[in-house]
Structure 1
Amino acid sequence: MMNGSNTESRSLYHFRGSAPASFRTSLIFIPSKFANVATMLLVPSVKCSPATQGIGLLSSQILKRFSSSKRWQARQLKDRFTREAAVQGLKSRAAFKLLQIDEKYHIFESGQTVVDLGYAPGSWSQVAVARTQPHGRVLGVDIIPAQPPKGVSTIQGNFLDPNIQAYVREFVRDANRGRPYPPSTILDADYDDTQLKSGENASSDKQTDPKQWDCKYSVDVVLSDMSAPWFQTTGFGKRSLSDPYNRMMNTSGISFKDHAGSMDLCHAALQFSQEVLRTGGHFVCKFYQGAEDKALEEQLRELFRKVHRLKPESSRNESKESFFIGLSRK
């Protein structure tokens, strides 16, 4: 119930019938801009009945979220990589992590095919497009609906779903799909049909013969920055042997849970890389440090000639994230 005569937005909490005698509350008023969330929170005192204790718990959780959001915003404003990303038109500060990895290990070349797993919001894909121009192609895969950066092809879906992986393999099977074509231009009035046909034939010669299309060993670089953003309800497959989707919700703050979830996602990306990555291709994946990352590193060493572990300068000091870089598939 809203009182229009009040300058401060308020709402009243109603009980059906009379309120329990043991229910005692103190009132906390939230500024009107949060009125759609809760303009009045009921905080039970020590003598609350069990039936009403949940209301106070909910109110404290909302206040903690407001506080956490404020801290995050303040940290973002002070962060130099966040500011620089905005200046350069990058989707997020994460672009600098991949830029620093590429500066050190030189994973990108012009004309490469790059698959970016967990691409949203698209900062890694932006870097991949810029570093593989003019004839490269980048395919982003993510369950989050996001506007892809210019020059990026995308597939929306849960990568852990075998059907989505089949779509990705089908996409990369065609070596010309998603690859930019040079524009045809007439230079002057003397440009005749013979020259035009000659140019068309030269352009078609650069394309791969469809008979040679094969999803196996057709990708030059696989990037994985995956993390699960929310629980799925309908529309996507989410089951697997270890149910990794439900084990990771971005970062929970629980080190073991975040580490275990990231290991599952890295293993899924690595298994996919074994199927599509060409000889000499490269692999980059984000993970959260923990007891299992040594085993993952050993698996990478079996597949790649060189394996490096790196925490880029743009990663926050307090973050447990790190990156494996597998160079030159055997």
Structure 2
Amino acid sequence: MRNFLIKRLLQTHTSLQYAKQQPHNLKGKSKSSQDWLTRQLADPYVEKARMLNFRCRSAFKLLEIDDKYKILKPGDAVLDCGAAPGSWSQVAVERTNATGNIEKAPVGAVFSIDRLHFHAVPGATIFGGMDFTKPASQQRLREALGDRPVNCVLSDMAPNATGIRMLDQENIINLCYVVLRFAISMSAPHANLVVKVWDNGDVPKLERDILRFYEKVKRVKPRASRSDSAEHFLVARSFKGTQKESST
């Protein structure tokens, strides 16, 4: 029933009644705060997330990607990088059957890491207050995984914006390469990868580098991504493994 509701909501393009609300009690708030509140109330995905008990609207980005590209399945081991506040982990837990709610289906496992501390996600192993880019954090993840290879690596990570566009673009590309290197070292055959990028001139090279290790790479902008946002996601499918001549 829940999956049916999610599909119906993803197929709905018209705004909900709640989207017509206007913010109140704005006195004393900065213009940027007023603009954010107005945009939140005008965003149908915010209300959809509330209806389905997702922690934030970004859940619908992953739901749309998975519905189209089938990157998650029951029994998968998933790593969620930059997981706070946990909406992608919620989706991953549900789609991999990490809580065992789907009878007679394999039980998956979800490992979620973020520099911020965030509330537990039932069915996921949480590593809060840990920086994924640090070797010690990656070693903790390896220990938690044990001998289990990863079937899907997800990254919704983005660097703190400096306001210098070129630097911000360079920083997010660097994050993608950190995730790619870890995925290469820990992925099972035919595993999948999703990383967030901000559209810039370095993305085509990143795509080419990912294609050295995955059968297919697609640049995707889900409907839930705001139209004024430069974010896209690279969806890589079917990990090929490594070759001696390959390096990143």
TM-score normalized by the length of structure 1: 0.60
Which residue of structure 2 aligns with residue 167 of structure 1?
140
Which residue among 89, 109, 113 is the counterpart of 1:137?
Answer: 109
Q: Does 1:75 align with 2:48?
A: no
3-state SS of 1:69 partner: helix
Per the TM alignment, residue 260 of structure 1 is displaced from its structure 2 partner at its CA by 1.2
- Work out the percentage of aligned pairs sharing the same amino acid: 36
Alignment of 1:53-92 (within 5 A): 66-92=30-56
Question: Given the alignment of the two structures, is residue 149 of structure 1 paired with residue 113 of structure 2, yes or no?
Answer: no
Alignment partners' CA distance in 1, 2:212 and 2:115:
30
The 1-side partners of 2:114 and 2:181 are apart by 17
Query: Of the two, which has the highest radius of gyration?
Result: 1
Measured in 2, the distance between the counterparts of 1:271 and 1:148 equals 27
Q: Which residue of 1 aligns with 2:21?
A: none
Alignment partner of 2:168 out of 258, 261, 274: 258
Write out per-residue CA displacement over residues 159-196 of structure 1, whole angstroms, 9 at most, x where no aligned residue: 111000000011111xxxxxxxxxxxxxxxxxxxxxxx
Q: Aligned residue pairs: how many? A: 206
SS at match of 2:92: helix
The answer to whether the Cα contact below 8 Å between 1:90 and 1:123 also exists between their aligned partners in 2 is yes
Once the two structures are superposed, residues 105-164 of structure 1 have per-residue CA deviations (whole angstroms, 9 ceiling, x without a partner) of 001110110000000000000000010113111000111010022111111201111000
Q: Which has the higher contact order (CA 8 A, sep 6+)?
A: 2
- Structure 1 position 256, deviation (Å): 2.1
Report the alpha carbon displacement of residue 252 of structure 1 after superposing the two structures with TM: 4.4
1:245 is matched with which residue?
none
Aligned to 1:269: 179
CA separation in 1, counterparts of 2:68 and 2:38?
31
Could you tell me which amino acid in structure 1 is paired with residue 35 of structure 2? R
Give the secondary-structure state (helix, strand or coil) at the position aligned to 2:189.
Answer: strand
Q: What is the TM-score of this pair, normalised by structure 2?
A: 0.80
1:253 CA drift (Å): 4.7
In structure 2, C-alpha distance between the alignment counterparts of 1:76 and 1:252, rounded to whole Å:
23
Q: How far apart, CA to CA, are the structure 1 residues paired with 2:168 and 2:225?
A: 16
| Secondary structure at the counterpart of residue 267 of structure 1 | helix
Q: Which consecutive unaligned segments of at least 5 residues does structure 2 have?
A: 1-24, 101-106, 241-248
Deviations 1:174-231 (A, max 9, x none): xxxxxxxxxxxxxxxxxxxxxxxxxxxxxxxxxxxxxxxx36xx1100001112xxxx
CA contact (8 A) 1:121 1:148 kept: no
Q: Counterparts of 2:58 and 2:162 in 1: how far apart (Å)?
A: 19
